[in-house]
Structure 1
Amino acid sequence: MKYCFGVDIGGTTVKMGLFQIDGVLLEKWEIPSHTENEGAAILPDVAASIEELCEKKKIAKDQIEGVGIGVPAPVTEVGIVQNTANLGWGYKEVKKEMEELTGLKVRLGNDANVAALGEMWLGAGKGEKNIVMVTLGTGVGGGVILEGHPLVGTNGAGGEIGHICVNETETETCGCGKKGCLEQYASATGIARLAALRLEKDAKSSLLRSQEHVDAKAVFDALKAQDEIAEEIVEEFGKYLGHALANIAVVVDPAVIVIGGGVSKAGEILLDYIVKNYRANAFFANQDVQFKLAELGNDAGICGAAKLILD
């Protein structure tokens, strides 16, 4: 039997999985991400954890195809990370270092691209080769899979969907330093921001006014209770996201657009507002794109990382 490992490195924990090469997940676990000292211990800790599991399972090195890794940063084709926001790394030759630590083949990808690859392989995009995945969390992440492979780009920044400009009149600045980015309207924090602005300028009664803290979940809960202001907020969210996805589709022509991240827990009602605005703006050849909610949850990263090795 042949195996591979999928590793999803985050700022708090490293998620890890042992897979058979046919995609069966045999075991998954987590270890802490030690980000102190510029994250010097992260890769050695991962290597040690892999070695420990191999000893426990009595898996020889020649049975392992390799280790796929997703990291929260742009990654070059040769496995180099220039900088990370929450791991402490600056310039780091991750692929080279990990191969030296493990003696195994290593492939690397941006975490959002890797999650999209996981959904294509074993999740909502299964059976397709061309998908776009959007993750709606604290920010807006994205991954584009073309002909079964992640779109990486020259600087490893392919698929940074959250930083498409969707509002040229915006006066507030996005975390990236620009203004009017999709992330400012379609992320969990963006939805909360839209809610605060709407409640401030509209005197209508709303369930949201009784909330001490209005977050994205509160907005969607109110929407499900047929709250008029909540519907207006979600309509605005859908307008920005649907229009942005129509622009993406005319460039990459996906079969499926997968919506994931914490905001996607609102369920199918979320898709209604995105799809309506997408169809209103999409090029005729892209009208029949399927929209699906992500299926793999927190396992998308390790699944996609494992798939990196098998391509």
Structure 2
Amino acid sequence: MAQYCFGIDVGGTTIKCGLFDTSGKVLDKWEIKTRVEEGGMHILPDVAESILRKAKDASIPAKDVAGIGIGVPGPVNEKGEIPCAVNLHWGQKCIEEELRTLSGYPVKAANDANVAALGEMWKGGGEGARNMILVTLGTGVGGGIIVNGRIVAGAHGAGGEIGHACVDPNEEEACNCGGHGCLEQTASATGIARIARRMLAQSEKTSVLRGQEITAKAVFDAYKEGDQLAADIVSVFSDCLGRALGNFSCVVDPEVIVIGGGVSKAGDVLIQAVEKSYKKYAFSACRDTPLVLAKLGNDAGIVGAAKLILDAVGS
């Protein structure tokens, strides 16, 4: 019976790698550079080479490896294929087939945000739950939905694209996806800063935010200090996010909603603000669903990828 597996999280700059035992204990973790030149043709060969070297150095025979789980930034279908991954310079690619051929191990691939959700469910903020929503608030807004312990990927691999739910149909600026009024335009770090700049321009209120670089962190730091304009900005942000999560919850009926990403470093004040709005909009049966902070940080992707392959092979 297999004793080990590998979890891989492919990012645009670095690839995070982890060696796990089948209980989910991380035995080793490391990073390699993401070589996106020449259409990203080196990425999967580099991953395979790094894994095989690690297995050799640790004297792990192939028969003891359950396989490789891998999360990538883009929609992945049930066959392990991705139509494109802009940040990796990939077009159509059969990830599972290619990495399986290169490594000799079984491979399971999925979208990176969905994989992170699986990690948080297994060993993080949603540990013990089987039904969970993860929302990650970073440069953009990502997310993942877990139902009965399984990733909801959907027909096109786009399940859990929480950031592109329309929350403001009157928004005139376009989102990076080409749509208008996406949650990402309001609830991401860049979105919060955008709201702050608009409100600073429209308001005459005194604020510690005036005259400094406007970032999501600066907004929440000012909010914690009792700055009224910062409180107004946080109110707009939390109302949009709370309403969106209320809508998602009446479809998924999660046991827990986990909030991660860089913005979540604001901590409990963020949870309290969003929870207040969430309770206002959520369906009665879902109103008491707890909102909690993610726990795994940058390790969520590799942990979830390990769980992905273990589920796939039945370990």
TM-score by length of 1: 0.99
| Residue type at the aligned position of 1:108 | A
**Are 1:237 and 2:221 counterparts?**
no
| Rounded Cα–Cα distance in structure 2 between residues aligned with 1:120 and 1:78 | 24
Aligned to 1:79: 80
Aligned to 2:164: 163
**Are 1:97 and 2:104 counterparts?**
no
Structure 1 residue 115: Cα displacement: 0.2
SS state at 1:27 partner = strand
**Are 1:48 and 2:45 counterparts?**
no
Query: Cα deviations across residues 31-59 of structure 1 (Å, max 9, x unaligned)?
Result: 00000000000000000000111111000
Give runs of ≥4 in structure 1 deviating > 4 Å.
Answer: none
**Are 1:307 and 2:283 counterparts?**
no
| Residue type at the aligned position of 2:199 | R
Structure 1 residue 229: Cα displacement: 0.2
| Residue type at the aligned position of 2:50 | S
SS state at 2:209 partner = helix
| Rounded Cα–Cα distance in structure 2 between residues aligned with 1:283 and 1:121 | 26
| Rounded Cα–Cα distance in structure 2 between residues aligned with 1:83 and 1:54 | 30
Aligned to 2:276: 276
| Residue type at the aligned position of 1:256 | V
Aligned to 1:298: 298
Aligned to 1:178: 179
| Rounded Cα–Cα distance in structure 2 between residues aligned with 1:65 and 1:168 | 47
Give the unaligned 5+ runs of structure 1: none
Give the unaligned 5+ runs of structure 2: none
| Rounded Cα–Cα distance in structure 2 between residues aligned with 1:166 and 1:38 | 35
| Residue type at the aligned position of 2:144 | G
| Residue type at the aligned position of 2:13 | T
| Residue type at the aligned position of 1:134 | V
| Rounded Cα–Cα distance in structure 2 between residues aligned with 1:204 and 1:288 | 35
| Rounded Cα–Cα distance in structure 2 between residues aligned with 1:227 and 1:145 | 37
Aligned to 1:142: 143
Query: Cα deviations across residues 125-163 of structure 1 (Å, max 9, x unaligned)?
Result: 000100000000000001000000100001000000000
Structure 1 residue 210: Cα displacement: 2.8
Structure 1 residue 272: Cα displacement: 1.0
| Residue type at the aligned position of 1:3 | Y
**Are 1:228 and 2:228 counterparts?**
yes
| Residue type at the aligned position of 1:95 | E
| Residue type at the aligned position of 1:145 | I
SS state at 2:84 partner = coil
SS state at 2:217 partner = helix
Structure 1 residue 288: Cα displacement: 1.4
Give the % identical residues.
55
SS state at 2:68 partner = strand
**Are 1:289 and 2:289 counterparts?**
yes
| Residue type at the aligned position of 1:287 | R
| Rounded Cα–Cα distance in structure 1 between residues aligned with 2:211 and 2:231 | 16
| Rounded Cα–Cα distance in structure 2 between residues aligned with 1:226 and 1:21 | 47
Aligned to 1:151: 152
Query: Cα deviations across residues 49-99 of structure 1 (Å, max 9, x unaligned)?
Result: 001111110000000000000000000011001001200100000000000
- The equivalences for 1:16-55 within 5 A come to 16-55=17-56
| Rounded Cα–Cα distance in structure 1 between residues aligned with 2:281 and 2:221 | 27
SS state at 2:44 partner = helix
RMSD: 0.6
| Residue type at the aligned position of 1:252 | V
| Residue type at the aligned position of 1:259 | I
| Rounded Cα–Cα distance in structure 1 between residues aligned with 2:227 and 2:284 | 33
Structure 1 residue 168: Cα displacement: 1.2
SS state at 1:86 partner = helix
| Rounded Cα–Cα distance in structure 2 between residues aligned with 1:183 and 1:99 | 35
